[in-house]
A and B are shown apart, each in its own frame.
Chain A
C-alpha cells in the first residue's frame, strides 16, 4: 500500500486563508521551500467573507490612537482571558502588516490626504479599521494570493519553474499530521479531484484552517469550517485551549434556508431597526437586566426619541450587548413566540421610509434583495443567533505560534487559541491572521532550517494507517460475522445534520448543564454511528466521501466544545451559562485544555461513556506589570482576583 507519492518540502502550510497565505509568504521569503494545501480553490478561502476591516492602530483617523489603546480594547473585549503577550504583539505589529499589504498592491479606501482610511467599530476606542468598502476580506485574500504569484514569478525567472520554491496544492485535504517520534515529519493528504493519496514530508507544518462553525446548524461559516486543523492538532498530540468560547452573533438570517446564518449587520439596529416577536411586541423591553436598567429606555416612546436626541433619552434595549440580545431572542423562540422559521422579526420597514433604508443600509438591502428576494423596505427580516467565530483553538506559544508539545507544529489565525480571550472584537481577526500568520511562517522556516541535517522521517506504517482510515467509508458495512454485518451504512449527510442540530440546540448560545450532558451522550452515539458512515461511488471528487472524513473532525471538536463548556461554571464573553449567569473572577486566570484521551490508539474508542477528550485546568501566567499599568485600577477590580491585583 505504501506506493503513495511523496514529496519533500521545508514547510507545509495547511489552509490558504489569510493566515496560511501570510505564513507561506513569510516562510518562502526566509528561504524555506514551502507548500500550501487547501480544500478549496486558491483564493476562495473563508477570509473573503470578512467585511468590516483590519484593526490596526495606524492613527490615520485619530492621532491619539496607538498600540497601547488597541491592546487595552482587545483585553477588555476578551474579558481579560486573552493570552496577553499575543494581544500585545498583535497591537504592536498590526500597522506594519497592513502597510506591507500596500507594497504588494492592496488598495484600501483613502483619507482626504491619501492615507489609509479607518472606520469605527464596536469595542474600538478610535476609528481603527482599514477597509475597502464592505469587502475587506476579499482584498486581503487577493493581495496575498497575488503576492504568492509574484514570488512564483521570481522563482520562475531564476529556476525556470513557477513552483520550485512555493507551491499551492489546491482542492486537497489533509487527514493526518505525520510524526517521527515527537517531531512533526509531514502530512498525509488526498486530492479531492482524483481521490489520490499523497504525502508531503516536512519538518515544519503550519496549521491555518480556520474555524469550526459547520458543527452548528446555523452559522455564518462556509463548508470548509469543519474544525480540521483543531482535530489534526489534537490527533498529533497538541492541546486545544478554551474551546468553550464560541461567538454567536445575535442577528443572522434564518429565512430563507439558502441564506440561513448569514450576518445581518448590527447597524440595522443602530439605525432604528426593532426586534418584534410573533405577537408584534417589542420584547426587548422585557429583557433589560438589572445592571443595565438605568442605561436603557423603559418605554418605546423614549427609545424612539433616542435616535434623534441621544443626550436626553436612554437608548432602546435592542442595542444591549450581543449576548443579551441573543439570549432574549432565544427565550422568545423557546416560549413559542418566534417567527415562522424559528427566529424573531427585525423590522426597519415600518420605521423609516424606503428611500432612507436604501441609503443608510445599502448592503443589507442588496443582501436581502439578491439572496432572499426579500424587500426590507416592505417587510420585516427574520433573524436569529448564528455561530460566527471560535475564540478557542490550538494552544500556541505567543511569540513563535508553535503548538505546545509538538515540535514542528505551528498554528495561526482562527484555529489558534488565546489571542482573543473569551470574545473577539470586530476587525481583530484580519489583523490576527496577518500578525500571527507571519510569525508562524517565520518560526516554521527557522525550525525547518534547524532540522535540515536531520530531517524527521515518515514511516510506512503511519501512511498505511492513514490510508486505511481514509478509505473506511467505502467499506462501511460491518464485516461479515460481526455484529454490524449486513447493516446498511449510515448516511454522512444525515449524521452531519444530526450533529449540527445537537450542537445548535444543546451547546448553543445559552448553555445548561443538563443539556450539555445530553449533548455529550448524543455525540457519543453519533461517534459510534459515524464509524459506519458509508459512501457510494468512487474516489473522484466525491462529496459524500469528503463529508464522511470531515465528520471525524467535527465530532472531535464538538466534544471539546461541549466538555469545556460544561466545565466552566461561569458566563464570560462567548460562553453563557444559564445556571451560572455571572462572570466569576476566580475563572479569570483559568485555561481549559483539551487533549486526546488516547493519542496512540487511533480513534477506535466506541465506548460512549469514555469519550475521546480529557480536560485539564491550567492557571495562566500573570499579566505583565507594565501592561496592567495601562488600565485604571477601578477597571481591573472588575476582572482580576484580589491576589492578582496585589502581586
Chain B
C-alpha cells in the first residue's frame, strides 16, 4: 500500500483522507429525501395543530365527549364534566390551558419512543437524513450525553402512558352516554373514540420498553411460559410500532378535532340510538 503520500481530501466523514476519494456526500439516485421530508411534514402538521388546540383552552368538551388532549383535566379552570375525568389538583393559580399539565406525559412518551426518535433524528435533525447520505453535523455523540441520554427514561413515560390510556378508556366508556348523560347510547363520536382508544392501546402496548418489561429481559423463556407468550404477542404488535405510532397520532388528533367541531357548534354529533 502506498504510504507517505498526501491524502486527497480530509474534511471528515466519508471524505476522510483514507477513504475512497469521492467528493459527493452521497451517490444515491433514488428519492431518498422523500421519507424524511414526509416524516417532517407529518410531525410538523401535528405539532402546529396540537399546539393550537392545547393552548386554545376552549371547545374541548361536548357532552359526553371530552377531547383526549384535555383528559384527565386537572385544574380548577376546567370545564365541568359530569362523571368525567376532572380532578382539581391544580388550584385557581393555574391560569393557562389545563391541557398543558397532562399533555406532558403522552408527549414525553412519544418524544422518547424508539420509533419517534428515529423519525425526528432523521426528519428534523438529519442525523442521518437517510441511509448512506452524509449528515451535516461535524460532531456526533448520539445518546451518550445530556440531554439525549435522558432518552433512557422511556420506560417511565410508558408507565405514565398506561395510566393515560386507562383514563382515555374511561372517557370512551363515558361516550356511551348521550348529551343528557343517560347511559346506553351511541353516536358517531363514540365510534371515533373507540377507534382512537384501540389505536392508543395498540401503540402503547407495542412499545419496545413494554416488550422488554413483559418478557424481553428474561434469559430463559422456557421457565416463564406465560410471559413468553405475552412477549411473542407484543412482539407481533411491536413489528407494527411505526404504523401504530402514526395511526394513533392521527386518531388522537381526529378525536380532538371531532370534539372541537361538536363543541364549537359546527356540527351536531349524529346519534345512532
Contact residues in B for A193 (Cβ distance below 8 Å): 1
Closest to A540 in B: B1
Closest to A193 in B: B1
Contact residues in A for B1 (Cβ distance below 8 Å): 193-194, 540
Q: Which residues of A155-211 are within 8 A (CB) of B?
A: 193-194
Q: Which residues of B241-270 are within 8 A (CB) of A?
A: none
Interface residues on B, range: under 10
Closest to B1 in A: A194
Closest to B222 in A: A114
Q: Which residues of B47-105 are within 8 A (CB) of A?
A: none
Q: Which residues of B1-23 are within 8 A (CB) of A?
A: 1
Closest to A114 in B: B222
CB distance from B20 to the nearest CB of A (A): 14
State A194–B1 Cα separation when bound (angstroms): 6
Nearest 3 pairs of A and B residues by beta carbon:
A194-B1, A193-B1, A540-B1
A and B contact pairs by CB, cutoff 8 A, 3 listed: A193-B1, A194-B1, A540-B1
Binding site for A on B (CB under 8 A): 1
State A193–B1 Cα separation when bound (angstroms): 8
Q: Which residues of A512-559 are within 8 A (CB) of B?
A: 540
State A540–B1 Cα separation when bound (angstroms): 7
Closest to A196 in B: B1
Contact residues in B for A540 (Cβ distance below 8 Å): 1
Contact residues in B for A194 (Cβ distance below 8 Å): 1
CB distance from A477 to the nearest CB of B (A): 27
Closest to A541 in B: B1
State A67–B102 Cα separation when bound (angstroms): 70
CB distance from A81 to the nearest CB of B (A): 46
Q: Which residues of A379-398 are within 8 A (CB) of B?
A: none
State A377–B15 Cα separation when bound (angstroms): 47
CB distance from A113 to the nearest CB of B (A): 11
State A63–B4 Cα separation when bound (angstroms): 66
CB distance from B219 to the nearest CB of A (A): 14
CB distance from A373 to the nearest CB of B (A): 20
Q: Which residues of A284-323 are within 8 A (CB) of B?
A: none
Closest to B2 in A: A540
CB distance from A117 to the nearest CB of B (A): 15
CB distance from B268 to the nearest CB of A (A): 50
State A153–B165 Cα separation when bound (angstroms): 50
State A422–B1 Cα separation when bound (angstroms): 46
State A260–B72 Cα separation when bound (angstroms): 66
Closest to A195 in B: B1
CB distance from B16 to the nearest CB of A (A): 19
State A589–B1 Cα separation when bound (angstroms): 53
State A280–B1 Cα separation when bound (angstroms): 57
State A600–B21 Cα separation when bound (angstroms): 48
CB distance from A107 to the nearest CB of B (A): 14
State A540–B3 Cα separation when bound (angstroms): 13
CB distance from B228 to the nearest CB of A (A): 15
CB distance from B78 to the nearest CB of A (A): 57
State A177–B82 Cα separation when bound (angstroms): 93
CB distance from A460 to the nearest CB of B (A): 26
CB distance from A361 to the nearest CB of B (A): 25
State A283–B1 Cα separation when bound (angstroms): 57
Q: Which residues of A219-264 are within 8 A (CB) of B?
A: none
State A628–B154 Cα separation when bound (angstroms): 69
State A540–B2 Cα separation when bound (angstroms): 10
CB distance from A518 to the nearest CB of B (A): 46
State A166–B96 Cα separation when bound (angstroms): 70
Closest to A191 in B: B1
CB distance from B190 to the nearest CB of A (A): 41
State A194–B2 Cα separation when bound (angstroms): 9
State A226–B231 Cα separation when bound (angstroms): 49
CB distance from A315 to the nearest CB of B (A): 41
CB distance from B135 to the nearest CB of A (A): 29
